[in-house]
Amino acid sequence: MARFGAAKKHFGQNFLQDETVITAILSAFSARKGERVLEIGPGLGALTQHLLTSGAVVDVVEIDNDLIVHLQRRYPQLKQIHHQDALTFSLMDLNLSQQKVRIIGNLPYNISTPLLFHLLIQKDHISDMLFMLQQEVVDRLAAQPGCKAYGRLSVMMQLQCKVQALFSVPPQAFKPQPKVMSKIVYLVPYEKPLYAINSMVVLEDILRDAFNQRRKTIHNSLKQYFNSEQLIALGLDPKMRAEQISVEQWVKLANTVSSL
Protein backbone atom coordinates (compact mmCIF):
# COMPACT_ATOMS: atom_id res chain seq x y z
CA MET A 1 0.00 0.00 0.00
CA ALA A 2 1.34 3.43 -0.94
CA ARG A 3 2.44 5.77 1.84
CA PHE A 4 -0.19 8.44 2.40
CA GLY A 5 0.72 11.66 0.68
CA ALA A 6 2.89 9.85 -1.87
CA ALA A 7 1.99 10.76 -5.45
CA LYS A 8 0.49 8.03 -7.60
CA LYS A 9 1.85 7.90 -11.13
CA HIS A 10 -1.30 6.44 -12.66
CA PHE A 11 -3.21 9.54 -11.54
CA GLY A 12 -0.50 11.87 -12.84
CA GLN A 13 -0.09 13.43 -9.40
CA ASN A 14 2.44 16.16 -8.63
CA PHE A 15 1.62 18.00 -5.43
CA LEU A 16 2.14 21.76 -5.39
CA GLN A 17 4.18 22.83 -2.36
CA ASP A 18 5.80 26.19 -3.10
CA GLU A 19 4.07 28.87 -0.99
CA THR A 20 5.14 31.69 -3.30
CA VAL A 21 3.51 29.96 -6.28
CA ILE A 22 0.41 29.13 -4.23
CA THR A 23 0.05 32.80 -3.26
CA ALA A 24 0.47 33.91 -6.88
CA ILE A 25 -2.20 31.48 -8.08
CA LEU A 26 -4.67 32.54 -5.40
CA SER A 27 -4.01 36.21 -6.18
CA ALA A 28 -4.68 35.63 -9.88
CA PHE A 29 -7.91 33.74 -9.12
CA SER A 30 -9.10 36.06 -6.33
CA ALA A 31 -11.98 34.01 -4.92
CA ARG A 32 -14.64 36.04 -3.09
CA LYS A 33 -17.25 35.40 -0.44
CA GLY A 34 -20.36 33.66 -1.69
CA GLU A 35 -18.94 32.57 -5.06
CA ARG A 36 -19.33 28.96 -6.13
CA VAL A 37 -15.90 27.48 -6.75
CA LEU A 38 -15.05 24.03 -8.06
CA GLU A 39 -11.52 22.79 -7.46
CA ILE A 40 -10.45 19.95 -9.73
CA GLY A 41 -7.78 17.65 -8.30
CA PRO A 42 -7.18 19.34 -4.92
CA GLY A 43 -4.49 16.81 -3.98
CA LEU A 44 -3.34 17.46 -0.42
CA GLY A 45 -5.22 20.77 -0.28
CA ALA A 46 -2.51 23.32 -1.11
CA LEU A 47 -5.14 25.69 -2.54
CA THR A 48 -8.23 24.35 -0.79
CA GLN A 49 -7.75 25.93 2.64
CA HIS A 50 -7.15 29.36 1.12
CA LEU A 51 -10.22 29.07 -1.10
CA LEU A 52 -12.34 28.23 1.94
CA THR A 53 -10.86 31.13 3.91
CA SER A 54 -12.01 33.52 1.16
CA GLY A 55 -15.63 32.71 2.02
CA ALA A 56 -16.30 31.02 -1.32
CA VAL A 57 -18.57 27.96 -1.38
CA VAL A 58 -16.15 25.25 -2.47
CA ASP A 59 -16.77 21.84 -4.06
CA VAL A 60 -13.90 19.58 -5.04
CA VAL A 61 -13.58 16.73 -7.53
CA GLU A 62 -11.03 14.08 -6.60
CA ILE A 63 -10.53 10.55 -7.91
CA ASP A 64 -8.03 9.24 -5.34
CA ASN A 65 -9.62 7.33 -2.43
CA ASP A 66 -6.79 8.14 -0.02
CA LEU A 67 -6.98 11.84 -0.75
CA ILE A 68 -10.75 11.81 -0.30
CA VAL A 69 -10.29 10.58 3.28
CA HIS A 70 -7.65 13.26 3.92
CA LEU A 71 -9.87 16.03 2.53
CA GLN A 72 -12.90 14.90 4.53
CA ARG A 73 -10.94 14.99 7.77
CA ARG A 74 -9.06 18.23 7.15
CA TYR A 75 -11.79 20.32 5.49
CA PRO A 76 -15.22 19.48 6.95
CA GLN A 77 -16.46 22.88 5.71
CA LEU A 78 -16.23 21.80 2.07
CA LYS A 79 -19.68 21.93 0.48
CA GLN A 80 -19.15 18.56 -1.14
CA ILE A 81 -16.33 16.23 -2.14
CA HIS A 82 -17.18 14.54 -5.42
CA HIS A 83 -15.36 11.22 -5.62
CA GLN A 84 -15.22 11.03 -9.39
CA ASP A 85 -13.08 11.23 -12.50
CA ALA A 86 -13.12 14.87 -13.65
CA LEU A 87 -13.46 13.64 -17.25
CA THR A 88 -16.94 12.33 -16.48
CA PHE A 89 -18.04 14.91 -13.91
CA SER A 90 -21.10 16.97 -14.79
CA LEU A 91 -21.48 20.52 -13.52
CA MET A 92 -25.19 19.78 -13.23
CA ASP A 93 -24.29 17.84 -10.07
CA LEU A 94 -23.46 21.16 -8.38
CA ASN A 95 -27.11 22.27 -8.45
CA LEU A 96 -26.05 25.75 -9.52
CA SER A 97 -29.50 27.09 -10.45
CA GLN A 98 -28.78 30.44 -12.16
CA GLN A 99 -25.36 30.88 -10.56
CA LYS A 100 -22.24 30.10 -12.54
CA VAL A 101 -19.22 28.30 -11.12
CA ARG A 102 -15.59 29.37 -11.10
CA ILE A 103 -13.15 26.50 -11.67
CA ILE A 104 -9.56 26.16 -10.51
CA GLY A 105 -7.13 23.26 -10.53
CA ASN A 106 -3.71 21.78 -11.03
CA LEU A 107 -4.71 19.45 -13.83
CA PRO A 108 -2.98 16.11 -14.42
CA TYR A 109 -1.03 16.59 -17.63
CA ASN A 110 -2.14 13.25 -19.07
CA ILE A 111 -5.81 14.33 -19.21
CA SER A 112 -5.57 18.10 -19.57
CA THR A 113 -6.61 18.46 -23.22
CA PRO A 114 -9.64 16.12 -23.12
CA LEU A 115 -10.67 17.69 -19.80
CA LEU A 116 -10.60 21.19 -21.30
CA PHE A 117 -12.88 20.03 -24.11
CA HIS A 118 -15.16 18.29 -21.59
CA LEU A 119 -15.51 21.57 -19.71
CA LEU A 120 -16.08 23.58 -22.89
CA ILE A 121 -19.18 21.49 -23.58
CA GLN A 122 -20.50 22.76 -20.22
CA LYS A 123 -19.29 26.35 -20.59
CA ASP A 124 -22.77 27.85 -20.14
CA HIS A 125 -22.42 26.98 -16.44
CA ILE A 126 -18.89 28.40 -16.09
CA SER A 127 -17.87 31.94 -15.17
CA ASP A 128 -14.11 31.49 -15.55
CA MET A 129 -11.32 28.94 -15.13
CA LEU A 130 -7.74 29.10 -13.88
CA PHE A 131 -5.55 26.06 -14.42
CA MET A 132 -2.00 24.92 -14.01
CA LEU A 133 -1.04 22.92 -17.09
CA GLN A 134 2.05 21.71 -18.84
CA GLN A 135 3.70 24.82 -20.31
CA GLU A 136 3.57 23.34 -23.80
CA VAL A 137 -0.22 23.01 -23.57
CA VAL A 138 -0.68 26.60 -22.39
CA ASP A 139 1.57 27.80 -25.21
CA ARG A 140 -0.68 25.95 -27.65
CA LEU A 141 -3.84 27.41 -26.10
CA ALA A 142 -2.56 30.97 -26.46
CA ALA A 143 -0.61 30.61 -29.73
CA GLN A 144 -1.30 33.02 -32.58
CA PRO A 145 -1.31 32.20 -36.32
CA GLY A 146 2.19 31.77 -37.70
CA CYS A 147 3.55 30.19 -34.50
CA LYS A 148 4.70 26.59 -34.43
CA ALA A 149 2.50 25.98 -31.37
CA TYR A 150 -0.65 27.16 -33.18
CA GLY A 151 -2.98 24.28 -33.99
CA ARG A 152 -6.37 22.66 -33.48
CA LEU A 153 -6.38 23.33 -29.74
CA SER A 154 -5.57 27.01 -30.29
CA VAL A 155 -8.44 27.50 -32.72
CA MET A 156 -11.08 25.59 -30.75
CA MET A 157 -10.24 27.25 -27.43
CA GLN A 158 -9.79 30.80 -28.74
CA LEU A 159 -13.10 30.58 -30.57
CA GLN A 160 -14.91 29.78 -27.33
CA CYS A 161 -12.80 31.43 -24.60
CA LYS A 162 -10.67 34.44 -23.88
CA VAL A 163 -7.27 32.85 -23.26
CA GLN A 164 -4.65 34.53 -21.08
CA ALA A 165 -1.33 32.82 -20.33
CA LEU A 166 -0.08 34.10 -16.97
CA PHE A 167 3.19 32.81 -15.48
CA SER A 168 5.42 29.76 -15.54
CA VAL A 169 5.95 27.39 -12.61
CA PRO A 170 9.22 25.43 -12.29
CA PRO A 171 9.38 21.71 -11.47
CA GLN A 172 10.89 22.56 -8.07
CA ALA A 173 7.48 23.85 -6.93
CA PHE A 174 6.12 20.29 -6.84
CA LYS A 175 6.71 17.03 -5.06
CA PRO A 176 7.57 14.86 -6.86
CA GLN A 177 9.05 17.15 -9.48
CA PRO A 178 7.59 16.79 -12.99
CA LYS A 179 9.99 16.60 -15.91
CA VAL A 180 8.48 19.65 -17.59
CA MET A 181 7.73 23.29 -16.86
CA SER A 182 4.19 24.22 -15.89
CA LYS A 183 2.21 27.36 -16.65
CA ILE A 184 -0.89 29.08 -15.35
CA VAL A 185 -3.65 29.92 -17.82
CA TYR A 186 -6.82 31.94 -17.26
CA LEU A 187 -9.86 31.15 -19.41
CA VAL A 188 -13.10 33.09 -19.66
CA PRO A 189 -15.78 31.42 -21.80
CA TYR A 190 -17.63 33.66 -24.24
CA GLU A 191 -21.43 33.67 -23.98
CA LYS A 192 -21.39 33.05 -27.73
CA PRO A 193 -18.42 31.93 -29.84
CA LEU A 194 -16.12 34.76 -30.89
CA TYR A 195 -17.32 34.25 -34.48
CA ALA A 196 -20.68 32.78 -35.51
CA ILE A 197 -20.10 29.10 -36.30
CA ASN A 198 -22.64 26.82 -38.00
CA SER A 199 -21.16 23.52 -36.84
CA MET A 200 -18.40 22.79 -34.32
CA VAL A 201 -18.26 19.24 -35.67
CA VAL A 202 -17.44 20.45 -39.20
CA LEU A 203 -14.83 22.83 -37.80
CA GLU A 204 -13.18 20.01 -35.84
CA ASP A 205 -13.16 17.83 -38.97
CA ILE A 206 -11.42 20.32 -41.22
CA LEU A 207 -8.97 21.32 -38.49
CA ARG A 208 -8.06 17.68 -37.99
CA ASP A 209 -7.52 17.13 -41.69
CA ALA A 210 -5.42 20.26 -42.08
CA PHE A 211 -3.26 20.04 -38.96
CA ASN A 212 -2.64 16.31 -39.35
CA GLN A 213 -0.93 17.33 -42.59
CA ARG A 214 0.43 20.66 -41.44
CA ARG A 215 3.45 20.54 -43.77
CA LYS A 216 1.14 20.51 -46.75
CA THR A 217 -0.47 23.58 -48.28
CA ILE A 218 -4.20 23.99 -47.69
CA HIS A 219 -4.68 23.34 -51.40
CA ASN A 220 -3.57 19.76 -50.67
CA SER A 221 -4.72 19.19 -47.09
CA LEU A 222 -8.23 20.54 -47.73
CA LYS A 223 -8.66 19.31 -51.29
CA GLN A 224 -11.64 17.14 -50.34
CA TYR A 225 -13.48 20.36 -49.41
CA PHE A 226 -12.14 23.11 -51.70
CA ASN A 227 -10.36 23.68 -54.97
CA SER A 228 -7.92 26.55 -55.49
CA GLU A 229 -10.53 28.87 -56.97
CA GLN A 230 -12.82 28.40 -53.98
CA LEU A 231 -9.98 29.13 -51.54
CA ILE A 232 -9.07 32.29 -53.43
CA ALA A 233 -12.72 33.37 -53.41
CA LEU A 234 -12.64 33.04 -49.60
CA GLY A 235 -9.61 35.32 -49.47
CA LEU A 236 -7.04 32.60 -48.87
CA ASP A 237 -3.86 31.79 -50.74
CA PRO A 238 -3.96 28.07 -51.64
CA LYS A 239 -0.23 27.93 -50.83
CA MET A 240 -0.87 28.83 -47.18
CA ARG A 241 -0.37 26.21 -44.49
CA ALA A 242 -2.76 25.41 -41.66
CA GLU A 243 -0.84 27.34 -38.99
CA GLN A 244 -1.09 30.56 -41.04
CA ILE A 245 -4.90 30.69 -40.99
CA SER A 246 -6.62 32.78 -38.33
CA VAL A 247 -9.50 31.63 -36.12
CA GLU A 248 -11.89 33.84 -38.06
CA GLN A 249 -10.72 32.35 -41.37
CA TRP A 250 -11.12 28.81 -40.03
CA VAL A 251 -14.68 29.62 -39.04
CA LYS A 252 -15.35 30.99 -42.54
CA LEU A 253 -14.00 27.77 -44.06
CA ALA A 254 -16.10 25.60 -41.75
CA ASN A 255 -19.26 27.61 -42.40
CA THR A 256 -18.70 27.29 -46.13
CA VAL A 257 -18.38 23.50 -45.86
CA SER A 258 -21.45 23.16 -43.62
CA SER A 259 -23.58 25.21 -46.03
CA LEU A 260 -22.80 23.04 -49.06
Residue pLDDT, tens place only, 197-240:
999 999 999 999 999 998 999 999 999 999 999 999 999 999 99
Which range marks the domain in which residue 129 is found?
9-189
Q: What is the CATH number of the domain that holds 216?
A: 1.10.8.100
* 15: confidence class by pLDDT, cuts 50, 70, 90: confident
Q: Are 107 and 13 in contact (CB under 8 A)?
A: no
Q: Are 103 and 132 in contact (CB under 8 A)?
A: no
The total number of structural domains that make up the chain: 2
Residue pLDDT, tens place only, 99-113:
899 999 988 888 899
Residue pLDDT, tens place only, 233-259:
999 999 999 999 999 999 999 999 999
The whole-model pTM stands at 0.90
3 within some domain: no
195 within some domain: no
DSSP 110: G
Q: Are 158 and 127 in contact (CB under 8 A)?
A: no
DSSP H or E segment with residue 24: helix 19-29
2 within some domain: no
* 13: confidence class by pLDDT, cuts 50, 70, 90: low
1 within some domain: no
